[in-house]
């Protein structure tokens, strides 16, 4: 299993540009989440999904959109990038069932800079 | 989810046991204690979790006090690769939303 994969690893945008951060998992996990991490801080939840077609907002959803058309993929869209969105973005997934729901698996992160 | 309090940083000598404390005095009866760590620039990694009994796995041991208001993560024989930020998280098991991360404890293993 590849686990949770994220692309790209690095991205530089100009203010106002749009882009999509990709996240995919091959573990057939129902739950997927997006976090952002600013320097010296813990991770903050942006959006999450409990299954295909179902998404909900986390702690810091403004400026971001998500969709979940398949179990495997959970892309994060920035419609109009702002410097305040400069951060490291982590995607995560976990199973909803039984003892497996204890562990959340994280991707390697996407480092985004908005100029 | 209950709030947790951890020291900002700790040092430990290589080969010794690293004991990382966490206070969670407002924990509810159905909330578990989870530990994750984040090695520099990588995504967080699950370590262990528990409700009220002490737990041990191949990575660490988790000691939860009888009143459940605090816990200690123990890395029995710390190595340089254990240098990381360690997060103590309290939450209800099975919740659909994500984890609430504080600033964690930066553990530095000294050679």
pLDDT at A99 over 70: no
Looking at the DSSP bridge assignments, the partners of residue B89 are: B34
Residue B91 is predicted with a pLDDT of 87
Burial string for B25-37 (b: 16+ CB within 10 Å, else e) reads: eebeeebbbbbbb
pLDDT at A40 over 90: no
For A24-35, give the DSSP string: EESS--SEEEEE
Inter-chain CB proximity A109 and B102 less than 8 Å: no
Looking at the DSSP bridge assignments, the partners of residue A74 are: none
> Is the minimum CB–CB distance between A74 and chain B shorter than 8 Å?
no
pLDDT at A102 over 80: no
Q: How far apart are CA B98 and CA A90, in angstroms?
A: 12
Residue A98 is predicted with a pLDDT of 66
Inter-chain CB proximity A101 and B41 less than 8 Å: no
> Is the minimum CB–CB distance between A33 and chain B shorter than 8 Å?
yes
- Shortest CA distance to B37 belongs to which of A58, A103, A72, A3? A103
Take residue B73 and report the two structure tokens written for it.
């993560």
State the pairing for strand pair A54-57/A76-78: unpaired
Mean pLDDT of A48-73: 95
Q: How far apart are CA B92 and CA B1, in angstroms?
A: 7
Helices (H), chain A: none
Mean pLDDT of chain A: 93
Residue B2 is predicted with a pLDDT of 63
Give me the tens of pLDDT residue by residue for chain B, a chain 111 residues long: 668 999 999 999 999 999 999 999 999 988 999 999 999 889 999 999 999 989 999 999 999 999 999 999 999 999 999 999 999 999 887 777 788 899 999 999 999
Take residue A59 and report the two structure tokens written for it.
């702690």
Residue B1 is predicted with a pLDDT of 62
- Shortest CA distance to B4 belongs to which of B89, B92, B99? B89
Inter-chain CB proximity B96 and A48 less than 8 Å: yes
Which of B45, B87, B98 lies nearest to residue A58, judging by beta carbons?
Answer: B98
Say which residue, A99 or A72, is predicted with more confidence: A72
Inter-chain CB proximity B97 and A33 less than 8 Å: yes
Say which residue, A85 or A2, is predicted with more confidence: A85
State the pairing for strand pair A76-78/A19-25: antiparallel
Inter-chain CB proximity B45 and A56 less than 8 Å: no
Q: What is the DSSP letter of A98?
A: G
> Is the minimum CB–CB distance between B3 and chain A shorter than 8 Å?
no
């Amino acid at each position: 299993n590849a686990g949770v994969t994220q692309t790209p690893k690095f991205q530089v945008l100009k203010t106002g540009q749009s882009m999509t951060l990709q996240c995919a998992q091959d573990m057939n996990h129902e739950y997927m989440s997006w976090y952002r991490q600013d320097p010296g801080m813990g991770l903050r939840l942006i959006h999450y999904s409990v299954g295909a077609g179902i998404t909900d907002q986390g702690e810091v959803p403004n400026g971001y959109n998500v969709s979940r058309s398949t179990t495997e993929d959970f892309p994060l869209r920035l419609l109009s990038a702002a410097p305040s969105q400069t951060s490291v973005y982590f995607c995560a997934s976990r199973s909803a069932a039984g003892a497996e729901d204890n562990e959340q698996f994280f991707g390697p992160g996407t480092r985004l800079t908005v100029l | 989810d209950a709030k947790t309090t951890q020291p900002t940083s700790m040092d430990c000598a290589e080969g010794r046991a690293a004991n990382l404390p966490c206070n969670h005095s407002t924990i509810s009866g159905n909330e578990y204690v989870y530990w994750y760590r984040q090695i520099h620039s990588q995504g967080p990694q699950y370590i262990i979790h528990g409700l009220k009994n002490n737990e041990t796995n191949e990575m660490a041991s988790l000691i939860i006090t009888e009143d459940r208001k605090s816990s200690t993560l123990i890395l029995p024989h710390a190595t340089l690769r254990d240098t990381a930020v360690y997060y103590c998280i309290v939450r209800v098991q099975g919740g659909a939303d994500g984890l609430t991360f504080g600033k964690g404890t930066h553990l530095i293993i000294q050679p």
